Structure 1
Amino acid sequence: MRIIAGKHRGRALASVGKGDAAAHLRPTSDRVRESLFNVLAGGYGDPVTGARVLDIFAGTGALGLEALSRGATTVSFIEDGRKALGILRENIALCRAEGETRIFKTDARRPCENPGAPHDLVFLDPPYGKGLGEAALAAALAGGWIAEGALIVWEESAGIIPPEGVQLIEERKYGDTVIRFLERPS
């Protein structure tokens, strides 16, 4: 895994090999991440530059760190897995991004109230096929984590049911991975 573009372009991130099923680590591949950011830049008017990013079920942090490399202002990571937190901290250190990131060690389905400004770009990458994304997104909305007008990027293999207050804009399929773009209307 590596950062694809921006100020940290080419920087290698901590390896998890093929992923860690026991820790539910399934990093978004470089190819899918590159395609995702190309879609964001081309079809959504560059929602990354200057954004406050929220990475829910952050895992290794690759999505949030890619956004930071491409011009996001800050990234908040929500993750509670012990192994994932260790890799996430290592990756933040590799990118020397401690000053622009915050880690919230909490269950994504029950985060605390957001202690800061709401986020305009959200990455949601729950363990596949467990229905955790719906609960996490609803909790993030209720806790003030997501700004009005925010763009939400949801990676999931199964079908989803967006919670009230969020609408599906489009979806793209990459092998077993489906990336859905949603919006919280203003």
Structure 2
Amino acid sequence: MGLVPKTRYDGVAMLIHWITAVLMIYMVFFGEDLMKEGEAISKLPDPTGATFQPSIHVSIGTAILLLTLLRIVWRLTHTAPPYPATMKRYEVIGSKSLHGLFYILLIFIPLTGWITFGNFSKYHEIMQQVQLFGLFTMPQPPFIANYKELHDLGSNAAMLLIGLHVLAALKHQFIDKDGIFGRMLPW
């Protein structure tokens, strides 16, 4: 009796994907606001609470980075389900390229954010008290540079990729009806 081909991702891959997706969507829409609010509070005569929202920002960014590294390790040690035979070659190439770009951005954005944070906290000393997961102070990067433009560019690219990813998933679900959408759903 032959093996039945795998048609879905396993539960760990699904869990990492959906947690990362929720965190990333939150950061794309609200991440900058978290930093701006903290900066605004830091300029008040009583800056109590100025580090709360930036602490959320850096903790979520770090979680995204750690989840991405875990997902890469998981993906290298666990095979993905094959693409449906009905998918065109350009669709497979596009899917693989999109996923590769996601991995790059999900590492690039947190790292440029961390390096930029060093510069930010240099000019806003209270930000040197930002907590990572509420456990310890955010470590300063090994060098300080202003990569804010790169960090923002990465965030904008992520918005674009998220949109393309959602549109492609919807196309496969409602137009192609090829089961791609269900590969990452737990039901």
TM norm. shorter chain > 0.5 = no
Structure with greater helix percent: 2
- Normalised by the length of structure 1, the TM-score is 0.24
- Normalised by the length of structure 2, the TM-score is 0.24
Structure with greater strand percent: 1
Greater C-alpha radius of gyration:
2
